[in-house]
Amino acid sequence: DAKTTQPTSMDCAEGRAANLPCNHSTISGNEYVYWYRQIHSQGPQYIIHGLKNNETNEMASLIITEDRKSSTLILPHATLRDTAVYYCIVRVSAGGTSYGKLTFGQGTILTVHP
C-alpha cells in the first residue's frame, strides 16, 4: 500500500472549516483514499473515501487532486467534538481472497478550540 504523509497537528476555530491535507505521491491506480478519525479512547470511525472524484457525505468532503498524489479532508463547520486524530489511508480494494487491509500511520491531531 502507498505511504501517506500528514502534518502532525493542526488547530481550528469552532465553526470554521478544517482542512486536513494528505500526501500520497506513490498511490497506485487501484488504491482508494480513506479517512478515519479516532476520538480519545474510542475505536476508529470511518469518515469518507474516494478513488479519483471528489466526494461529500454528511460528515465531510474529500478533495482529491487530478494526479491523485494528494488529497484534503474538509470538515465544513468544525465543532469541539471534532477534536480527534485523523488518519489518511490508501488501500487496495479487496477482492476474492485479497483482504483490503488498512495501514494506519501517525495521523494528524486536530484540535478544535472555542
Provide the 10 A C-beta neighbour count for residue 98: 9
Q: Which residues contact residue 105 at a Cβ distance below 8 angstroms, ignoring those fewer than 6 apart?
A: 3, 4, 6, 87, 88, 89
Question: C-alpha angle 77/27/107, rounded to 5°?
Answer: 45
Which of 60, 107, 108, 112 contacts other proteins by CB under 8 A?
107
Question: Is residue 99 a contact point for other proteins (CB under 8 A)?
Answer: yes
Question: Is residue 102 a contact point for other proteins (CB under 8 A)?
Answer: yes
Give the range of 19-27, 41-49, 65-73, 76-84 binding other proteins by CB under 8 A.
41-49
From the CB of 78, what's the least distance to other proteins, in Å? 22
Strand 84-92 versus strand 70-75 pairing type: unpaired
Q: Provide the binding-site residues for other proteins, judged by CB under 8 A.
A: 30, 32, 34, 41-46, 49, 51, 87, 91, 93-107
